[in-house]
Amino acid sequence: MSLLELRDVTRTVIPPDQPALTILNGVDLTVEPGDRISIVGRSGSGKSTLLNLLGLLDMPTSGLLTFDDRPVKSYSGAARDRVRGAQIGFVFQQFNLLPGRTALENVAMPLLYAEGRSFWRRKQLAAEMLQEVGLGDRMESMPDRLSGGEQQRVAIARSLVRGPRLILADEPTGALDLDTGSSVMQLIDEVATRTGAALVTITHDPAIAARARDHFRLDRGVLTRADSDELAAASEAIS
């Protein structure tokens, strides 16, 4: 059973006083549990739009999008929100931490929307997740007292604290230096491996993309599989 699947998916928008604009065109992609997938593409290629579809934030204009082999169009908006909150974790380039909250409070935030034991144990779960990412001694620190790499680790802990089955990483190392970015990606991969989550990384960095097992290129809304040489060429063109 596929975790997430797109079949001949298109996404079209209609700007004010302009003709319809097709951003994604005939996209096919299957994400299985435990997959490691990278997608590279230049600015304007449709990466953000694709990420929104993978994260169930948007719906395709046409084609089939399924989660757990169930068409996403059959979910209500509230059901999509519940699936996204419980089963999909997002790691962004910008850390988006709440400035007036400690690292522990930031990580516990998603668990305010959990149910049962996860809700009542939210501080313990958040503390365990911070230990997992190597910040057990920084739980009471405010974001402005953390380095960029530490802030990204808090953001990763927050995205993973509910045990998502799918992790979507959008340029997760874009705001970090090379060494810190490499260690952050290793951390994401290690946690995903331990939990059995699938990891889809959208990046322009060939070194980051190469960490995945399956590589794709997105160009003018068309997604194609890329081998190592094509990936390097695409990444060089993007940079």
pLDDT at 237: 55
* 157 touches 133 (CB < 8 A): yes
pLDDT in tens, the chain (239 residues): 789 999 999 999 888 888 888 999 999 999 999 999 999 988 888 998 999 999 999 999 999 999 999 999 999 999 999 899 889 999 888 888 999 999 999 999 988 877 788 888 889 999 998 998 889 999 999 999 999 889 988 998 998 888 899 999 988 887 778 787 788 888 888 888 888 899 999 987 788 888 899 999 999 999 999 876 666 565 555 44
Cβ atoms within 10 Å of 28's Cβ, excluding its own? 14
> What pTM value is reported for the model?
0.87
Q: Is 217 exposed, middle or buried (0-12, 13-18, 19+ CB in 10 A)?
A: buried
pLDDT at 210: 87
Output the CA–CA distances (angstroms, integers) from residue 77 to 3, 14, 83, in the order listed. Answer: 19, 22, 10
Domain span holding position 35: 4-238
pLDDT at 187: 86
pLDDT at 30: 97
pLDDT at 138: 94
CA distance 204 to 142: 30
CATH number at residue 36: 3.40.50.300
Angle between helices 178-195 and 148-160 (to 10 degrees): 20
Count of domains observed in the chain = 1
Helix or strand (DSSP H, E) at 188: helix 178-195
pLDDT at 62: 96
